[in-house]
Amino acid sequence: MVTRLHDPSAHSFASDNYSGAHPEVLQAMVEANGGHVGSYGADPYTRRLDEVVRDVFGEGASIDPVLTGTGANVSALQALVPRWGAVVCAASAHVYTDEGGAPERLGGIKLLTVPTPDGKLTPELIDRQAHGWGDQQRPQPLAVTVTQSTELGTVYTPDELRAVTDHAHAHGMSVHLDGARLANAAASLGVSLRAITRDAGVDSVSLGGTKNGLVLGESVVTFTEEARAGLVFLRKMDAQLVSKMRFTSAQFLAMFEGDLWLRSATQANAMATRLAGALAVLPGVVVTQPVDANAVFVVLPAAAVEPLRATHHFYDWDRQTGEVRLMCSFDTTEEHVDRLVADLRALLG
């Protein structure tokens, strides 16, 4: 028997990946246990997930569970572009800054980056890299990937997404959406998941799970045959094919068959709003980005950073400016937020 090796009361603002699993997700995994069912997706939970994803995203949507967010992004992008293709993304995009070079090294995909002030691409910004078609000296820009919510905690509105997808499609480019925090974006906007994916013209989505209460597992959701072509093979080639897929699928069922995805994301977002509001009135503290979802970017007085980090772990975002990132999770409470604010107030004297 494993003895508990951590303090279950500990809370961190470092990442929503630090959080545990939602009890309803754990219960779904328990219920999926016992007996033998088919492997690699030939099980009743994955078949039910196929039905649920069509209810959530519309008829014709298809879901392919995978192991990791990196794997979801790589496989989804590989399915959209040939070997000579390139993908346009924001310079701050997770797929560029935090995938360990996986799109390039594992996927063989050239990323064409564009600096953005708020993490969001626009048609005008895409055009900085969307050119040179037919030039054999240049990687061919054949897809765009956007992140929702962005690495800077900002959110695309449905109209902003539609502008991007219409512009990309007019150039013959596909559009992928990195939705590691898609639920947080939808909760922030007060819209459905479909409204900021399929209805906005997106071709495929990396549907996040672990940042919103799953134990493990992500998925690729596709809306066209072209976007899904090859995924059945790419999942295996990219080491993303889950053998006991019933447990991955059961978690997604717990999340999306009801409103758990929305409840969890709404809680995380609300705590980020509370945190930003309380920090903004403290002397010497500057909130640097709009708080659209569950991330708070802030510059703290230098002398307070390390003492505060010792009790409320968080990461630096920009060491040159002193900007740090504080992430709220589905299990962040008002008490957690208020304790951090009180400790910082005490450090500021």
The pLDDT tens digits for 243-271 are 999 999 999 999 999 999 999 999 999 99
Task: Supply the pLDDT for residue 55.
Answer: 97
**At 123, which CATH number?**
3.40.640.10
**At 310, which CATH number?**
3.90.1150.10
pLDDT digits (tens, 9 = 90+) for 185-199: 999 999 999 999 999
Task: Supply the pLDDT for residue 150.
Answer: 98
Q: Is residue 5 part of a domain?
A: no
Domain co-membership, 123 together with 268: no
pLDDT digits (tens, 9 = 90+) for 23-41: 999 999 999 999 999 999 9
Domain co-membership, 146 together with 286: no
Q: Is residue 122 part of a domain?
A: yes
Q: Contact 148/185 with Cβ under 8 angstroms?
A: yes
Average pLDDT, the chain: 97
How far is it, in rounded angstroms, from Cα 343 to Cα 336? 11
Q: Is residue 189 part of a domain?
A: yes
Task: Supply the pLDDT for residue 3.
Answer: 85
Last residue within a domain, chosen from 220, 240, 256: 256
Residue 31's domain comprises 23-256
Q: Is residue 252 part of a domain?
A: yes
Beta-sheet pairing, 140-147 with 85-90? parallel
Percent over 70 (pLDDT), the chain: 100
312-337 mean pLDDT: 96
11-34 mean pLDDT: 97
Last residue within a domain, chosen from 218, 239, 256: 256
pLDDT digits (tens, 9 = 90+) for 143-177: 999 999 999 999 999 999 999 999 999 999 999 99
Residues facing residue 219 across a β-bridge: 65, 207
Domain co-membership, 148 together with 223: yes
Q: 148-176 in b/e burial notation, b at 16+ Cβ within 10 A?
A: bbbbbbbbbbbebbbbbbebbeebebbbb
Beta-sheet pairing, 140-147 with 315-318? unpaired
Domain co-membership, 328 together with 197: no
Q: Is residue 47 part of a domain?
A: yes
> What sections of the chain are H helices per DSSP?
23-32, 44-57, 69-80, 94-97, 102-105, 123-126, 158-170, 182-189, 225-228, 231-237, 245-256, 260-280, 302-311, 334-347
Domain co-membership, 189 together with 264: no
Domain co-membership, 137 together with 282: no
Domain co-membership, 125 together with 238: yes
Q: Is residue 119 part of a domain?
A: yes
Domain co-membership, 197 together with 97: yes
Domain co-membership, 209 together with 250: yes
pLDDT digits (tens, 9 = 90+) for 114-139: 999 999 999 999 999 999 999 999 99
Phi then psi dihedrals of residue 119, to 5 deg? 85, -5
3 state SS for 259-310: CHHHHHHHHHHHHHHHHHHHHHCCCCCEECCCCCCCEEEEECCHHHHHHHHH
Q: Is residue 16 part of a domain?
A: no
How far is it, in rounded angstroms, from Cα 29 to Cα 38? 16
pLDDT digits (tens, 9 = 90+) for 90-107: 999 999 999 999 999 999
Last residue within a domain, chosen from 228, 256, 284: 256
Tell whether pTM > 0.85. yes
Domain co-membership, 48 together with 153: yes
Percent over 90 (pLDDT), the chain: 98
Task: Supply the pLDDT for residue 266.
Answer: 98
Q: Is residue 14 part of a domain?
A: no
Domain co-membership, 287 together with 179: no
Count of the separate structural domains present in the chain? 2
Domain co-membership, 115 together with 137: yes
Task: Supply the pLDDT for residue 155.
Answer: 98
Task: Supply the pLDDT for residue 1.
Answer: 74
